[in-house]
Amino acid sequence: MLSVLIVNWNTRDLLRACLSSIESFPPSDPYEIIVVDNDSTDHSAEMVRQEFPAVKLVLPGNNTGYAKGNNLAFAASSGDVYLTLNPDTEVYAGTLQQALDFLASRKQIGCLAPKLVGLDGRVQSSVRGFPTALGIFGDLTKLGKLFPLTRLGSYRLPAFDYDKEQLAPQPMGTFLLFKKEALEAVGDPSHPFDESFPIFFNEVDLLLRLKRAGWDCLYTPDVSVRHHGGEGTKQVRKKMIWESHKSLVRFLRKHYGTVWNAPGIALLTALIYSAAFVRARGYDAGFRT
């Protein structure tokens, strides 16, 4: 069974459109929908109760963040295939069943990501490489764009071909379809996300752990999803800029924090925080529960 897991915060109308699209274009396989509402003030929970009574609604009572919200959804689910889906998406006819069929037919693929299509009809750049010191340096200095096929371009992947089915290191967490057996290889499938990454880099951390356990992620352009883009985080832009940069530093320290790497990570941390200060036009503490 497919469990569709949605974490929502103050995106009621987009959530309605998302749930309506699933209702209009359901998979032929059995499925359930679980919505975790992170203490929205726009009556999102009431809308779900009234208009989508079959949806399982989880109300933690506070804004848990994305990682913990997803973990609550996983814990409440009963499927063996999981879709973490952002509320600012809409599926098309065939999207869900095609994704399920693709994932089931590929034995060593633990996660599937689709083509994301913006409101303007353009394909969105949605796949990145795993963060490394050189990749982040190339991104911050813009050298990655000048040398896209080198390690300097290994983070943003400017040369990624979105018309080609291929392995994808870390697609955006907008629509990620996971096999249960893959999640079992890296821990408890009812609690797969590391909550020390509350908003950003939680899916990157999970995908890297899956990769190291022998489970790849596949991008396919044959499955498409409509994506509005960042509608939740736009509401608190300054906080989210700082939280994304702080989470990147946490990621680097968690996965590459050896004695030998310490000087390089310290230098990179200074560059990352400087970039956050410039982008956000000042300092912010980031996400706090």
Interval 72-94: pLDDT, tens: 999 999 999 999 999 999 999 99
Q: What is the mean pLDDT of residues 35-51?
A: 97
Q: How far apart are CA 197 and CA 201, in angstroms?
A: 6
CATH superfamily of 2-126+162-226: Spore Coat Polysaccharide Biosynthesis Protein SpsA; Chain A (3.90.550.10)
Which residues, at least 6 apart from 139, have a Cβ–Cβ distance to it below 8 Å? 155, 156
Q: How far apart are CA 165 and CA 218, in angstroms?
A: 7
Interval 225-248: pLDDT, tens: 999 986 555 667 888 999 999 999
- Tell me which residue of 273, 206, 216 sits closest to 244, measured CA to CA: 273
Residue 39 gets the label, from left (phi > 0), alpha (psi -120 to 50) or beta, of left
Tell me the domain boundaries of the chain. Answer: 2-126+162-226, 130-158, 235-280
Residue identified by tokens 């975790």 is 36
* Radius of gyration, alpha carbons of the chain: 19
Residue 98 has pLDDT above 90, yes or no: yes
The phi, psi pair for 54, rounded to 5°, reads -80, -15
Predicted pLDDT at 287: 77
Whether the model clears a pTM of 0.75, i.e. scores above it, the answer is yes
